[in-house]
Amino acid sequence: MKTAPRFYLGVDGGGTGCRARIEDEAGTILGQGLSGPATTRLGIDTAWASIARAYGAAAEEAGFGAAEFKRTAAGIGLAGIGRKGALEALQAIEHPFLDIDFTSDGMGACLGAHSGLDGAIVIAGTGSIGLGFVEGQPLRVGGYGFPISDEGSGADLGLKVVQLALRAHDGRHDRSALLSEIMHRFQDDPMEAVAWMDRASATDYAALAPTVMRHADQGDAAGRRIVQSAAEHIDTLVRTLFEKGAPRVTLLGGLSSPLEPWLAPDVRRRLKPADGDAVSGAIILARQRARR
């Protein structure tokens, strides 16, 4: 007979950091921990080491040892878990828990946002994606990676502003305060922009997004054009998830708050605040696994 867990561990492993939380059966928080980036992009061993540091810190706060871990079900939401072979490699790692289950960090956030019920999220951050569950079946819209996808994301905003800045430099587009500021970052030299492009990541492009948002909010024509286009892409993600049967949709991510005022009125009216965070979702995953 399978031993019933007494404790639940939730871990949210993302590209910027990893968070862990331990709860008892009643949902009382016993311990929490933080560590650095945990994404399969850094390698499975590096991701797991970050996860272990986070749950180790939570265990220390909770006063947990090996005996308690043997009564703990773990749920792990991890960035990049969809990469070829990543899930199989994670499942092969020895762990100290009674049971363990894995999902993507996005699906963990979706579980947390809707308390494990049917619903969907749109994440607007460095990248963008629509994710959800309808009648227990997963949904996905977009989010295939920058620059071929992730429309409406911070990286997409950064790409669009660099493109327009170069056009304005050539005289192919009207100049504006925003485009002048972007070109100034490159010493008003297109070849500096080319050199930057050769080594720039999605995160580097997304670092330009706050500048775009600031100028757009101040009325800059180029900024408004870029942000309005991004908002339309997010509108489309939200509407598509509703069309696919999601009963509720929540907007999440670092760009969600600044971008929300730019969304269409019908979309803004239909958005629902999140019930909980991605760590809550990972704990829900652990509880669901324990009930199987």
Spatial distance between the Cα atoms of 185 and 167, rounded to a whole number of angstroms: 15
Cis previous bond, 247, omega within 30: no
Question: pLDDT higher for 145 or 58?
Answer: 58
What pLDDT, on the 0 to 100 scale, is given for residue 251?
98
What pLDDT, on the 0 to 100 scale, is given for residue 106?
92
Spatial distance between the Cα atoms of 215 and 210, rounded to a whole number of angstroms: 9
Q: Are 132 and 138 in contact (CB under 8 A)?
A: yes
What pLDDT, on the 0 to 100 scale, is given for residue 291?
84
User: How large a percentage of the chain has pLDDT more than 90?
Assistant: 90
The number of residues making up the chain comes to 292
What pLDDT, on the 0 to 100 scale, is given for residue 222?
98
131: Cβ–Cβ under 8 A, 6 or more apart, which residues? 104, 106, 107, 109, 110, 120, 121, 123, 138, 139, 140, 141, 143
Query: At which residue do the structure tokens 């019933």 appear?
Result: 4
Instruction: Tell me the pLDDT tens digit for each residue of 173-225.
Output: 999 999 999 999 999 999 999 999 999 999 899 999 999 999 999 999 999 99
CB atoms within 10 A of CB 88: 9
Instruction: Tell me the pLDDT tens digit for each residue of 223-242.
Output: 999 999 999 999 999 999 99
Pairing of strands 137-141, 99-104: unpaired
Nearest to 185 by CA among 196, 200, 201: 196
Q: Is the pLDDT of residue 1 over 60?
A: no
Query: At which residue do the structure tokens 């998830």 appear?
Result: 241
Instruction: Tell me the pLDDT tens digit for each residue of 35-69.
Output: 999 989 889 999 999 999 999 999 999 999 999 99
Spatial distance between the Cα atoms of 84 and 254, rounded to a whole number of angstroms: 27
AA identity, residue 1: M
What would you report as the CA-atom Rg of the chain, rounded to the nearest whole angstrom?
A: 21
Q: Are 22 and 282 in contact (CB under 8 A)?
A: no
| Dihedral, 12, 280, 270, 16 alpha carbons, nearest 10 | -20
Which domains, from first to last, does the chain contain?
Answer: 7-115+275-291 (3.30.420.40), 154-270 (3.30.420.40)
What pLDDT, on the 0 to 100 scale, is given for residue 2?
61
